Chains A and B, each alone.
Chain A
Amino acid sequence: MSVATTNHADAERRAAFFAHVAAGGKVEATDWMPDDYRTAVLRFVEMHANSELMGVLPEREWLLRAPTLKRKLALTSKVQDEVGHAQILYRVAEDLGKSREAMLDDLMHGRTKFHNVFHYPTRSWADVGVIAWLIDAAAIVAQQALRESSYAPYARAMKRICWEESVHILHGRDVLLTMVNGTAAQREMVQEALNRWWGPLMQMHGPPSDPAKDRDLQWKIKSKHNEELRQEFLGVYVPRIWEIGLTIPDPNLRYDEETQRWRYTEPDWAELRHVVTGHGPMSQARLDFRLLNHAETAWVRDVVLGNGRQAA
């Protein structure tokens, strides 16, 4: 068997794989898949898992500070869900060939990325509401589209995650509504938080990109492009923000009936690039916090995993 024949067979197998995916076919963990598809799915899911795990930290800062017992329970359970999502997604990623420990190591040393919004500080209880309502809403818009992913274990994971996220959105909206209906100081706190988060929120789905050049789209790892997701988010949430008397800090934000699209001030894409490459206001502090906790709990993992070192 000549090398040429082998290559020919490989090319055919590859073509058949992508034809299958292009026709809406699904891929399971144990199926054969081309290396570049495997790498692309792994990169995508790993970044998502990282974002869930790092997304825990901003909200965790308020875990002890919830002002009522019911809020305390809801927030603790919400943060717990994010950890649960990280577990689900790291499992999906692990089956593609990279260990959890390797993924955590890359994350903590800044070699892999996580969502821009988790690089920012939190300042008040209203941030808990903005994160749970609007950031989770922006995320869920993307995640709902991922339920159609060609990589079936990821698509199935998204179904469960989306269901849980829908509870988070309700919790967050409830937190903000209660404050908006409260005192002037509470309303001011909500508006201040919204003002701070709006920029990062608009950057969250990424700059408009050419769908024709987006391999993740062609391979149906994801099914919607950046601008599509942002438009969808704006379409549902801007009216909901406005109706409760809040102001969105963008004078150019409006729905253009003619083009059927939302117009807005161009988000700061330079800031997005700067932040996701580890230069956000809290990037290093949050990674350091993860590293510190990981190091302090290493002895427990050794106990559980049975590599307890014998005392010297």
Chain B
Amino acid sequence: MSSLPAGISHDALADLLLALADDELVLGYWDSEWTGIAPLLEEDVAMSSMAQDEIGHALAYYSLLAPHSGIDPDAYAFGRTPPEYRFARLLGHARTDWGFTIARRYLYETADAVRLESLSRSAWPELAGLTAKMRREEAYHLLHLETWFTTFMSAAPSAAERFRANLAQLWPDALDLFAPLPGEDELLRCGILPEPMSTLGARWEATVRPRLEAASVAVPLNSATLPPRSGGQHPDFSWLWNEMTMVYRLELGAVW
């Protein structure tokens, strides 16, 4: 806690950590819905582990912020209204079908890998250490998704087309993962964020766009017409929010 670089405001710190945490939280929630009903028992267990990993990462990010804000991780996860969440638009959509789930995960995990690599060089040792640890867990996710990507792309045309359409549909929302943060200048000045989000976004695009184009995905040009990190306003999320806070809201302050 004392190793936090001087001169950083709580707001700027929250801008970063809540964006990271909320991304992981909501992805973990959507994908955890496959537990018990995935296409194959084997994949059911594998997907559930990945969903649990994401929620564990969200918990770790909230816990990093908690001593600075005095807000408990569960209060972050369940005690906010939908527009207060900071996750990217990519994560606002419901789970939909398996192709959609895999397409979203592919875009998200490749982007998160770029983000984590950069954050593991953060001047804030706690964040650098945490993200370095996450990279070790995410390596398995990346490998698993790579297998799915290849499987879908080499599947019969109907399935491959379906997957390509999912990727193309989600691409603009994936760019939102690298939208500039409100407190970004401060974060950069303190070295908490080693590089601007736009640099990370360009780095991700430079690797993933050619990959998608080579796989004949019609990658659209950037079209950021919606406000950044407004995933919480997605209509699908209001359904999820109702579910995830249902018991929490029964008796505020109760211990569960």
A-to-B contact residues, CB < 8 Å: 56-57, 60, 63-73, 76-77, 79-80, 82-84, 86-87, 90, 100, 125, 175, 178-179, 181-183, 185-186, 289-290, 293, 296-304, 308-311
Contacts and interface: CB of A to CB of B under 8 A. Distances in A.
A308 B159 contact: yes
Interface stretch (B72-80, B107-115, B184-192): B72-80
Contacts of A293: 37
B39 A80 contact: no
18 contacts: A63-B32, A63-B35, A64-B33, A64-B243, A66-B247, A71-B256, A79-B36, A83-B41, A185-B251, A296-B97, A301-B39, A304-B39, A304-B40, A308-B155, A310-B158, A311-B156, A311-B157, A311-B158
A265 to B, nearest CB: 32
Counting chain A CB atoms within 10 Å of each CB, which of B99, B161, B247, B254 scores highest?
B247
Nearest to A57: B36
A181 B256 CA distance: 10
Interface string B42-83: 111100110110011011001000000000011001100000
Contacts of A310: 156-158
A125 B98 CA distance: 28
A89 to B, nearest CB: 10
Nearest to A82: B36
B38 interface: yes
Interface residues of B, number: 50
Contacts of A84: 45
B41 A90 contact: yes
A73 B256 CA distance: 13
B45 A300 contact: no
Contacts of B43: 304
Contact of B40 (A72, A175, A182, A301): A301
Given A63-B35, A69-B77, A77 B254 contact: no
Would you call the interface of chain A mostly helix, strand, loop, or mixed? helix
B85 interface: no
Contacts of A90: 41
A84 to B, nearest CB: 5
A186 B251 contact: yes
Given A76-B48, A83-B44, A297 B38 contact: yes
B230 to A, nearest CB: 22
B255 interface: yes
A73 B158 contact: no
Given A57-B36, A67-B78, A80-B48, A303 B155 contact: yes
Would you call the interface of chain B mostly helix, strand, loop, or mixed? helix
A125 B244 CA distance: 12
B240 interface: yes
Contact of B45 (A70, A71, A83): A83
B156 A300 contact: no
B159 A80 contact: no
A63 B29 CA distance: 9
| Top 8 A-B pairs, shortest CB-CB distance | A308-B156, A297-B39, A300-B39, A56-B36, A67-B256, A80-B48, A67-B247, A64-B243
Given A69-B55, A179-B256, A185-B251, A77 B48 contact: yes
Given A90-B41, A297-B38, A64 B158 contact: no
B97 A64 contact: no
Nearest to A69: B59
A178 B156 contact: no
B151 A125 contact: no
A69 B256 contact: no
Contact of A80 (B45, B74, B99): B45
B36 A60 contact: yes
Nearest to A68: B74
Nearest to B53: A73
Contacts of A185: 250-251, 254
Contacts of B33: 63-64
